[in-house]
Structure 1
Amino acid sequence: MLNPRPATPTHACRARVLRFDNHQPIWEDDGALVFGTDATGQARLLEVGSAPAVLGQYPLLPVAHWPDRIVAPGFVDLHIHYPQTDIIGSPAEGLLPWLEHYTFPAETRFADAAHAAATAEFFLDELLRNGVTTALTFCTSHPASVEAFFQAARQRQMRMMGGKVMQDRHSPDGVRDQTEQSLLDTKALLQRWHGQDRLGYAITPRFAPTSSDAQLRGAAELAARYPDTWIQSHLAENRDEVRWVAELFPLSRSYLGVYEDFGLLRQRAIYAHCIHLDTTDRQRMKACHTAAAVSPTSNLFLGSGFFDFAQADAIGMGYGLASDVGGGTSFSPFRTMLAAYFAGREGQTKQGVSLLPSQLWYRHTAGAAAALGLEGSIGNLQPGCEADCIVLNPQATPLLARRTAQADSLEELLFAMIVLGDDRLVERVMVNGQWLPG
């Protein structure tokens, strides 16, 4: 048997480097990363470690040197709605009124391919501007919205997942689909886009109340037939929603039980919010390798409640952080991590928890990648990972520069960036081995 073609190094950078080993941060104050292509042509990180040790192996390789910058993994947004970009910051009394007054009217416009394409272009550029290189994304019930999303993502060589929303009941004209056609459209889109370049398909029932039994059953059949796809939906976000689900599905043990009864719990299944769960729900999610997308800015904005980090960690349930734009109030991972810190302190337990800054960062990078079943591929800077990363400037603003200069530990440095950072902190973005202009 012939040996496979070895990876080819192409370029390197030298800076301070943040990465993760399991849940623990690894910090190199003078680190180096070597990038290259593997035998398939995929851009990957080939070497990482202390600069003298790493760069000594590649004396002729071009090296960009940024001694006062930080290279970190590209952020992974575990739940976001690209068609809701234009309704971010829209006031509402709660989740269900917000859907009625803002979400559904905005999403009807995505039957227009030109509108979908323009929004997808802006959405992906906004993600990249904020240092997000991968996202699990809701489109709308219109196939044109999915086509636009994947075409724009492929053009940017991004590792992205998304899917057509399925909602065949309790939905207004303009977004409601038909059961059989929704399944045919989902299958056709899946076959067209899943596994193309760096793209993946997510089977996407909006949430249990807006899908009939037949649609949920059909979604599960597709998920079983294509086990390397993703499943995404919403779960236990709002108490009114939970009561509605109990009325619609009286034979199911819980809201989570509805999805389990239809066969929609498995690895690569991601459910947004997961606030109003009990211990059995969390245990079932762990057992089924199903993860939660925690969306704290959205939960605070809509008054939905607080994800219970302490209970999730105690059980070992998988989860990662998500913006949930447009219910979420910012594309910025720093705003999401700060809101998660607030939510943890408030919590559902009597004392709450103080989440370590490094753990907040982990849950928005390597932890979110693990929830997606992509651990070791994205969200980290370990050898073999795909070459997506960001360069952070801790002197991006006067206050940030003043505070980070006084940080005497990694946790202090990370927390200062979480609290004070925004898109200005993200100086460069690498996607698939290429530094983007800017």
Structure 2
Amino acid sequence: MTRRVVITGIGVRAPGGSGTKEFWDLLTAGRTATRRISFFDAAPFRSQVAAEADFFPEAEGFSPREIRRMDRATQFAVACTREAVADSGLEFAGVDPHRVGVSLGSAVASATSLENEYLVMADKGREWLVDPDYLSPHMFDYLSPGVMPAEVAWAAGAEGPVTMVSDGCTSGLDAVGYGVQLIREGSADVMIAGASDTPISPIVLACFDAIKATTTRNDDPEHASRPFDASRNGFVLAEGSAMFVLEEYEAAKARGAQIYAEVTGYATRCNAYHMTGLKKDGREMAEAIRAALDESRVDPTVVDYVNAHGSGTKQNDRHETAAFKIALGQHAYDVPVSSIKSMVGHSLGAIGSIEIAACALAIKHNVVPPTANLHTPDPECDLDYVPLTAREQRVDSVLTVGSGFGGFQSAMILRAPEGVKA
């Protein structure tokens, strides 16, 4: 018999807040956390806005040595892990550490620290031959993505399966999906799963400038992210992290754990078509949604809310709209759909996990987050995208999706377990 998997702990570090509560308060208020970039001088760049997180490692309890050793994305992941573990109420000392694992997702890992170290060694790029005398002793920690889940494992005392998932903007969904699978198959009893990315750096900004994927609405950063709006012109780069404690359902229920949601279905597909392009018919995403629904053994009509990828690019929003219509049929016109990227931006590999957190909280609180800045819907995006204001309604089942460069398309179904909601 396949084991059931539930979320019992959540930790979030996202733009606009310093924890899970602040994150949820921002979403339900429909506030945006997008602003002009303050981390460096962005004047030379095409896109100069981002959703930065007000994250202070000293206030999070990191020691000076930890701050020097860990990249910012790793600090985010460890801080979220600590919050998720505390939130779960699980006494990890009483769990066999070999039955506790980690599945962490990230698109660009420690790219920020790598860039910073290069700038030091090359004297801000003025020297063609870098000076190794200025090499950080922690350069390996920045170079190897596997260090990130290792740090999380050390923080949680996890000695079971530990892995890094990096497949672009679906990494956060796929890392949680992989963690769920390990518990289902019996390879672990508890998983720390989620994702972290802190990509607001000159090199990453330049990469998206080159392909014109990010917004140029630099004069109005608060309203720059406009998923499904006719005036949208690209996504807003962001940073953030969300980590979860996943447990086998019967064990969680036996200890009286708070259960946010059960992950009942997950699937991922690739369009094998283009690195950044998407077909308008949405077929690949639709197939991932169908597979996730099949694994959940539910009809599309049970879905109460769809958390869209909703990046705010022309082709993505149209692609998703088409995919929802294929996979959900007529129900696509009846179910509310929204994009939280309108408020917290697009944190690349981390956003899938941040969106899972939003979905679990939507189930807990019976509230659908809105799509901020949606004033003039694109006629080709003709579904109920919950413009501007959060909506109170019963939420028992949620579909969340992700779409990533490389052709990755992922979908997950979260449901309120029996007996959890009144």
Which TM-score bucket, shorter chain as reference? Answer: 0.3 to 0.5
Higher strand share: 1
Larger radius of gyration: 1
What TM-score does the superposition give when structure 1 sets the normalisation length?
0.34
